[in-house]
């Protein structure tokens, strides 16, 4: 079952330590030998999975579970409500509009299913003019972070000639008249070296009806080539605000320009001393969410004429729970707090006085919140582990929350339950974990259990519905989600406790979750699988190299695995504030080499059955990570457990992946789990 992979003599010197990299040749995706190797890996993977007699049944169950209408939260623009809807099994959701949300006939605005044959076009950005007559939208293909921006005339239904290229993580800010917009982009990738393509972000003004070559450069900072600048208009369109960010660090800077008086950009917050998120203004009073002197975040008011820190006004001070979201709607602050990793929604007036709570029953997460500062309604999307996205319309005049897009819930919630437990990690820290399963679960140590985690980049794992997980629990499985350090569930301190030299805390938290589940007789090692993607793929890869004895199976999705070279590829350098830079800093090398999955595979060890997944056009976590880790694990592994690599073609990190590809991938993943854990399906 193992593919032979040649080794080459390649070494690097890290601060006096020689590190071998025998599979570096796998980093070149254009090498025909690499492509042949990938094809052989895929063949071996499908050969193993085809030996599972119930694979077709798994696919049929997944297809049925996926087949229900899915809506996004509507937004009101001009005279219309706009939203995405997937009928059930469409490859991509279609963007519609209606004047009445109860209408049966929907007007198609953008259908990405018609934009390329592979069904991999994805709408990545939407920005309307104030009058709602035009829409600037971003399109990505094959899962790439790169996008193009086009303009749709919403009166004619046709695209204008405008085309903006070289955009990634970009923002679009129309002027009040709708005659053009500000946006940020990188240089033309063909004009710079590969390792410079995500540097030197700049802000431009695009006049509607002109070519991109005519766009006017508005702002650049050659002395800080790692900075990126997202343009945002103030509520009154007088100020152009730049949200300045560097990689994934939990810090930002704020610059602004008064478009009436002209002049240069003012560096309102230019020190990089914390995170600032602009949420609106009243004249020269600007409102921000910030973590400065508030690790769990607060809302402040800043007078542009007296912006010094001692003059800030705490409108909504920090509290025990993390402030996760804040918007100004109906001239009030709509705020979401994370209460032990699930959302609570509250309304405050503009002076910070608590008005009321909007109850979301049980363990729920917000999936969207839309509304206008001048509006009298807002739309709220929320979900749980047991229920798909529900959408409500809140009327500020009546205080009532009514359901939108009424539909029959095909999923039984009465026969299942989600509970939350707190277990001790290695150092005694209490870690929360959600458990979802059938009611009346017998704690006999025999239950198949899938443990999921992430633990990084200030990302919070809150309750979310997954059709694949739904199938898993219907087949008697337990689904566990551990809220590890490194996430954002409990604020800045929780996040930092899982970064840099403290990253080992994340892996300890995950191992402790597995040990607790076994000790409490939810499962046993041979029935316990772990899963994670991206940074969560790093989590899984590290976990099986550190504790190969603890897990019965592993699903390692689009992983970061080479911690010594990750910063050299595409946007990898964004992650240095979480991981460190082993090449540049000897201190970072010392702790990174201790857990880097690629460098901690030992020969002669029996690793658990492992399926590593990636995609050939992933330009966020390049597939070289998964390829090199798979080759290393296959070479070092002892025993008969399968170590498999699955490389999806014409797909990226996950963005825009067609439903058909998702179902195929999930069929392989869950067939692998059922087979390796010995689960009988109905």
Q: Which residues carry out catalysis?
A: 534, 653
Report d(CA 383, CA 463) in Å as an integer: 7
Q: Looking at residue 666, what DSSP letter applies?
A: H
User: What are 148's two structure tokens?
Assistant: 């193009």
**Long-range residue pairs from 184-192, CB within 8 A, at least 24 positions apart, any chain:** 184/228, 184/229, 184/230, 184/231, 189/146
Q: Which H or E run includes 246?
A: strand 239-246
Residue 492: strand, helix, or coil: helix
Closest listed residue to residue 430, CA positions, set 509, 339, 517: 509
Share in percent of the chain as helix, strand, coil (round to 5) = 25, 35, 45
Closest listed residue to residue 24, CA positions, set 10, 13, 37, 35: 10
Query: In 519-650, at which residue ranges do the beta strands (DSSP E only) sit?
Result: 528-533, 553-557, 610-615, 643-648
Report d(CA 644, CA 42) in Å as an integer: 8
Residue 659: strand, helix, or coil: helix
The length of the chain, given as a count of residues:
682
Bridge partners (DSSP) listed for residue 421: 433
Q: Tokens 């087979």 identify what position? A: 675
Q: How many CB atoms lie within 10 A of CB 65?
A: 20
Closest listed residue to residue 539, CA positions, set 466, 577, 483: 483
Report d(CA 663, CA 122) in Å as an integer: 17
CA angle 142, 143, 145 (to 5 degrees): 120
Report d(CA 135, CA 210) in Å as an integer: 16
**C-beta separation of 150 from 141 below 8 A:** no
Residues 6 or more apart in contact with residue 16 via CB below 8 angstroms: none
**C-beta separation of 217 from 224 below 8 A:** no
Query: Phi/psi zone of residue 635: left (φ > 0), alpha (ψ -120 to 50 degrees), beta?
Result: alpha
Residue 65: strand, helix, or coil: helix
Bridge partners (DSSP) listed for residue 327: 334
Pairing status of strand 430-438 against strand 416-424: antiparallel
Q: Which H or E run includes 233?
A: strand 227-233
């Amino acid at each position: 079952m193992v593919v032979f992979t040649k080794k080459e003599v390649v070494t690097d010197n890290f601060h006096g330590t020689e590190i071998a990299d025998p599979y570096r040749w796998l980093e070149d995706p254009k090498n025909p030998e690499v492509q042949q190797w990938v094809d052989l890996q895929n063949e071996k993977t499908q050969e193993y999975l085809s030996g599972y007699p119930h694979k077709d049944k798994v696919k049929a169950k997944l297809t049925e579970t996926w087949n229900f209408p899915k809506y996004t939260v509507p937004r009101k623009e001009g005279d219309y409500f706009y939203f995405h809807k997937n009928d059930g099994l469409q490859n991509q959701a279609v963007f519609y509009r209606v004047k009445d949300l109860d209408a049966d006939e929907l007007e198609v605005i953008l259908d990405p299913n018609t934009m390329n044959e592979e069904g991999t076009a994805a709408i990545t950005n939407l920005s309307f003019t104030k009058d709602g007559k035009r829409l600037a939208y971003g399109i990505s293909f094959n899962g790439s972070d790169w996008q193009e921006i086009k303009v749709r005339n919403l009166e004619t239904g046709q695209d204008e000639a405008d085309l903006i290229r070289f955009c990634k993580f970009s923002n679009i800010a129309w002027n009040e008249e709708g005659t053009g917009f500000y946006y940020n982009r990188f240089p033309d990738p063909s004009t710079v070296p590969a390792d410079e393509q995500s540097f030197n972000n700049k802000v431009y003004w695009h006049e509607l009806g002109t070519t991109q070559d005519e766009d006017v450069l508005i702002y650049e900072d050659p002395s800080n080539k790692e900075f990126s600048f997202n343009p945002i208009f103030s509520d009154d369109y007088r100020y152009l605000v730049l949200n300045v960010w560097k990689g994934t660090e939990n810090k930002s800077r704020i610059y602004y320009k008064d478009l009436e008086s002209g002049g240069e950009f003012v560096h309102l917050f230019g020190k990089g001393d914390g995170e600032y998120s602009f949420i609106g203004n009243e004249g020269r009073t600007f409102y921000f969410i910030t973590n400065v002197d508030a690790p769990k975040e607060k809302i402040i008011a800043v007078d542009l004429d007296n912006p010094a820190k001692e003059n800030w006004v705490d409108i909504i001070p920090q509290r025990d729970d993390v402030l996760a979201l804040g918007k100004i709607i109906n001239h009030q602050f709509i705020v979401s707090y994370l209460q032990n990793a699930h959302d609570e929604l509250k309304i405050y007036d503009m002076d910070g006085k608590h008005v009321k709570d909007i109850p979301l029953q049980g363990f729920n997460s917000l999936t969207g919140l839309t509304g206008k500062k001048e509006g009298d309604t807002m739309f709220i999307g929320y979900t749980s582990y047991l229920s798909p996205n529900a959408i409500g319309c809140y009327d500020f005049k009546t205080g009532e929350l009514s359901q939108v897009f009424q539909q029959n819930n095909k999923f039984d919630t009465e026969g299942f339950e989600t509970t939350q437990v707190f277990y001790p990690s290695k150092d005694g820290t209490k870690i929360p974990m959600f458990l979802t399963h059938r009611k009346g679960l017998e704690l006999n140590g025999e239950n198949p259990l899938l443990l999921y985690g992430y633990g990084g980049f200030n990302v919070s794992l809150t309750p979310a519905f997954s059709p694949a997980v739904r199938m898993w629990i219907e087949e008697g499985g337990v689904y566990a989600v551990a809220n590890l350090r490194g996430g954002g569930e409990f604020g800045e301190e929780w996040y930092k406790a899982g970064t840099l030299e403290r990253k080992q805390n994340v892996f300890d938290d995950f191992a402790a979750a597995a040990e607790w589940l076994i000790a409490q007789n939810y499962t046993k090692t041979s029935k316990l699988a772990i899963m994670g993607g991206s940074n969560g793929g790093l989590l899984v890869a590290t976990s099986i190299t550190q504790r190969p004895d603890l897990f019965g199976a592993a699903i390692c999705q689009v992983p970061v695995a080479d911690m010594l070279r990750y910063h050299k590829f595409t946007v990898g350098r964004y992650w240095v504030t979480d991981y460190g830079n082993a090449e540049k800093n000897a201190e970072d090398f010392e702790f990174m080499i201790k857990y880097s999955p690629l460098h901690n595979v030992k020969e002669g060890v029996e690793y658990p059955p492992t399926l590593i997944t990636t995609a050939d056009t992933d330009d966020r976590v390049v597939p070289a990570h998964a390829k090199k880790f798979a080759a290393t694990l296959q070479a070092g592994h002892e025993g008969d457990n399968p170590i498999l690599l699955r490389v999806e073609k014409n797909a990226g990190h996950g963005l825009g992946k067609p439903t058909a590809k998702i179902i195929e991938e999930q069929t392989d993943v869950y067939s692998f789990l059922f087979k390796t854990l010995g689960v009988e399906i109905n």
